[in-house]
Chains A and B, each alone.
Chain A
Amino acid sequence: MKNLPPIYVAGVAETPLGEVRDDNELSMLARATQEALAEAGMRIRDIDGVFVNYMGDEGSVQVAEYLGIVPRYSDTTDLGGAAFEAHVHHAIAAIAAGFCEVALIGYASRQRSRRGRSVSGGSTGASGTPIMHHFERPYGLPTPIGHYALVAARHMHEYGSTRAQLAEIAVAARMWAQRNPKAWVRDPLTVEEVLASRPIAEPLHRLDCCLVTDGGGAAIVTTAARARDAAKRAVRVIGAAESHTQWHISQMPPLTKLPGTRSGPEAFAMAGILPTDVDVFEPYDAFTIGPLLALEDLGFAPRGEGGSFAASGALRPGGRLPSMTSGGGLSYNHPGAFGLMLLIEAVRQVRGEAGERQVPDAKIAVAHGIGGLFSTAATVVLSHD
């Protein structure tokens, strides 16, 4: 990173996962924060920057009060599921500028226990804009899967991608989940089973869709000096970038290129790496079409060939580009926003502590979040140092 001091992720932890009955969101986040701080060799009172999304109104204020801290820096940038990669991007700048030194990035949700998901979009967020209310919502496009379906259908039309190629992405995620004891579903899965699952919004079927679970996590981002005391090896952030395009699907210009076409190459340029340098890839897999496009947007596969790249088995354990190594949102955990968990898994892979699912000699890992209605993207490149 030119002109920037080295920045590290010094600790990561998941909140309780799955179906959480004995915690609320803030207590979940507090537990994850303490675990991540223990890895970093710090205490709660060391945190002076709070970066959160989806923690309620004035989320950073609620989280800081709950933790009993008075931060010098606060950021609740809402890039949906990509917010957490964007928070790393922002934390780099804030730490480099001296605005804070120890940044907490955090998230927790009990959307499974609360039965908080609805395809009609509810009364807030996506459906809440007047433009959607007038011009989009009356047509009954389920949110967000309908938007992802329109993108998938167009990609198939333009490039000949197939449902079997999309299904392979779910299968690869499941193979990784079978190696992760914390994964929510670990039964074997075949392409045929994905294809035969019931249609939701064509071309996407039930098993093209992520889980609905409780979960979340915490990550501590800090300076080289502060990371030196970490109990576990800190992982260096060597690249980060973000972008967003549209909120309303009618405004999405090419449909088959996402804002990752900007955040990916910018993060790689900052890191001074090429796609071929990446050992582990953690793309956001809310729906199978997400990783397919991420492969193209970030240059792992030529435009239009993300499907055949995936179908070659490249994303599986032992593949050419091990991806979704936690089992992903498709099989491990998806608490509404999965971006922080991409980072956590990327850190563990680079540290070499991912157990049965460890990618051998993983030196460079990329966490690539997307969010909203294929609206946002943020990419973080982590290095062994």
Chain B
Amino acid sequence: MTEPAMRTDDPFAWPFWEGAIAGRLLVQRCGACGSHQFYPRPFCLACEALDPVWVEVCGRGEVWSITTVHVPVFPTLTPPYQVALVTLEEGPRLLAGIEGPPCRIGDAVQVGWRERPDAPPLPVFHRTEM
């Protein structure tokens, strides 16, 4: 199974990838209650107000859970590698790859970008150096 090419049929995803191309990690923020959310929806999950707007986040977060993968999933990813759930400082949690030194749950991490040949850069995280 090869890694799927970027699908272009989801207008809700595009602002995120435009941000990624510019090196900015974006999530949605509700204009009414101020809560952040990810992935994108046309309403706020917290208060149900319409049309949350895309805002840049600081890019820092904490490893909420993590696994080290030892089986090949895509030819472009050579095991072992780590995949984590990262809780952003602003609140939303996202699945992401880990680069650099191995991480553990509770580690502070910072976003970086993994270049891809056929798609916008992918947000990945690395341990924040103390």
Q: What residues make up the interface of A, taking CB atoms closer than 8 Å to B?
A: 118-120, 122, 130-131, 133-142, 146, 149-151, 153-154, 157, 198-204, 248-251, 255
Contact = CB atoms under 8 A, between A and B. Distances in A.
B96 interface: yes
B9 interface: yes
Given A138-B3, A139-B83, A157-B106, A255 B64 contact: yes
Contact of A141 (B9, B13, B95): B95
Name the 7 nearest CB pairs between A and B, nearest first: A120-B1, A149-B67, A140-B73, A154-B65, A140-B77, A150-B65, A202-B68
Contacts of A130: 7, 9-10, 13
A140 B95 CA distance: 10
Contacts of B54: none
B52 interface: no
A154 B64 contact: yes
8 contacts: A119-B71, A120-B1, A122-B1, A130-B13, A135-B38, A139-B95, A140-B77, A202-B70
Contact of B39 (A118, A131, A137): A131
A120 B94 contact: no
Contacts of B67: 141, 146, 149-150, 153, 201-204
A96 B7 CA distance: 46
A250 B85 CA distance: 7
Contact of B85 (A133, A142, A150, A200): A150
Interface string B79-94: 0010111000000111
A151 B83 CA distance: 12
Given A140-B74, A142-B71, A133 B65 contact: no
Interface in B42-79: 64-71, 73-74, 77
B39 A250 contact: yes
A122 B2 CA distance: 10
A204 B71 CA distance: 12
B73 A198 contact: no
B122 interface: yes
B69 A201 contact: yes
A133 B9 CA distance: 11
B15 to A, nearest CB: 12
Given A157-B65, A255-B64, A140 B13 contact: no
B117 interface: no
Given A130-B10, A137-B4, A153-B105, A198 B39 contact: no
B1 A139 contact: no
A248 B45 CA distance: 15
A135 B95 contact: yes
Contact of B83 (A122, A141, A199): A141
Contact of A118 (B1, B13, B92): B1
Contact of A250 (B9, B66, B95): B95
Q: Tell me which of A133, A198, A204 has the highest count of chain B C-beta atoms within 10 A of its own C-beta.
A: A133
Contacts of A154: 64-65, 105
B13 to A, nearest CB: 5
A204 B67 CA distance: 9
Given A130-B13, A138-B119, A157-B105, 16 more contacts: A134-B6, A134-B10, A135-B16, A138-B97, A140-B81, A142-B71, A146-B67, A150-B65, A150-B66, A150-B67, A150-B83, A154-B64, A199-B68, A249-B95, A250-B85, A250-B92
Contacts of B10: 130, 133-134
A201 B81 CA distance: 10
A130 B16 CA distance: 14
B20 to A, nearest CB: 10
B78 to A, nearest CB: 10
Contacts of A119: 71, 73
B39 A140 contact: no
Given A120-B74, A131-B39, A135-B94, A140 B83 contact: yes
Nearest to A134: B13
Nearest to B10: A130
B88 to A, nearest CB: 11
Contacts of B85: 150, 249-250, 255
Contacts of B74: 120, 140
Nearest to B1: A120
Contacts of A142: 69, 71, 73
